[in-house]
Chain A
Amino acid sequence: KAGVTQTPRYLIKTRGQQVTLSCSPISGHRSVSWYQQTPGQGLQFLFEYFSETQRNKGNFPGRFSGRQFSNSRSEMNVSTLELGDSALYLCASSDLGGGIETQYFGPGTRLLVL
C-alpha cells in the first residue's frame, strides 16, 4: 500500500498570501487529520475530517480551513499568511474514524513565510 502523500513538500510564500496544501491518505482510509509542528509550539492539532465532514477542530484562527473530497483526499488552506505560520504541516490518515487501527503520517509540507 502506498503511504500518506503530501504535496508540495516545500513551499515559500510571503506574508498576506494564501496557500493550499494537499494530502492523499492511504487507500481505504477515511479519516484525515492535520497538524502543525513548530519548534516553539510543538505539535498542534488543526482539524480532522471523516467522510468529507469536519469532525474536530483545534484552536487555530479561521484563516486555517480545510476540506475533504469524496475520495478522502484532503486539502488545507491558510489565508492571509503570517510569519508565524511557518511550520511543518503534517497530515495523518487512519481507518474507521479512529478505532484501533494505526494512524499513519505523511512526510509533511514545510512552509516558510517571508
Chain B
Amino acid sequence: AQSVSQHNHHVILSEAASLELGCNYSYGGTVNLFWYVQYPGQHLQLLLKYFSGDPLVKGIKGFEAEFIKSKFSFNLRKPSVQWSDTAEYFCAVSEGGYQKVTFGTGTKLQVIP
C-alpha cells in the first residue's frame, strides 16, 4: 500500500524567506505525485503534479517540486514566500492519474509579514 510522509506539521516563515516542504512516499512502482493547497476558508486545489517527464515541476504561484525517484521524495519549494502563501499543503501520491490518491497529513504554513 502507498503511504505519504510529510515531516513538517507546522512551519512558520517570514515573508521573503525560502520554503522547502518535505514529502516522502513509499511505493515501488510508477507513481503520480501531487501537491495540493488549501487556503483558509477556500477549497482544496491542485498546486502542481508530476506524471512523467521532467522531474522538476512548475506549479502555480511560483511553486515548484522536484521528483527524486532514488529518494522517493517530492519536495515542494518556493524561493520567496508571501503572506498570501499561508495555507495548508498536502503531498499526495497515486498509482495512476487521480485514481485512489493517498494524501499526507498536511503541513500548515504560516507566513509572518
Q: Using CB atoms and an 8 Å cutoff, list the residues of chain A in contact with chain B.
A: 3, 31, 33, 35, 42-45, 48, 55-58, 90, 92, 94, 97-100, 102-108
Instruction: Choose one: B49, B98, B104; the contact of A31 (CB below 8 Å).
Output: B98
Q: Given A100-B51, A106-B43: A92 and B98 within 8 A (CB)? A: yes
Q: Given A42-B106, A100-B51: A55 and B44 within 8 A (CB)? A: no
Per the bound structure, the CA–CA distance linking A44 and B102 in Å amounts to: 7
Q: Given A42-B105, A43-B90: A56 and B44 within 8 A (CB)? A: no
Instruction: Choose one: B97, B102, B103; the contact of A98 (CB below 8 Å).
Output: B97
Q: Which B residues lie within 8 Å of A58 (CB)?
A: 100
Flag if A45 contacts B97 (CB, 8 Å).
Answer: no
Count chain B CB atoms within 10 A of each CB in A57, A58, A105, A106 and give the residue with the most. A105
Residue of A nearest to B90 (CB): A43
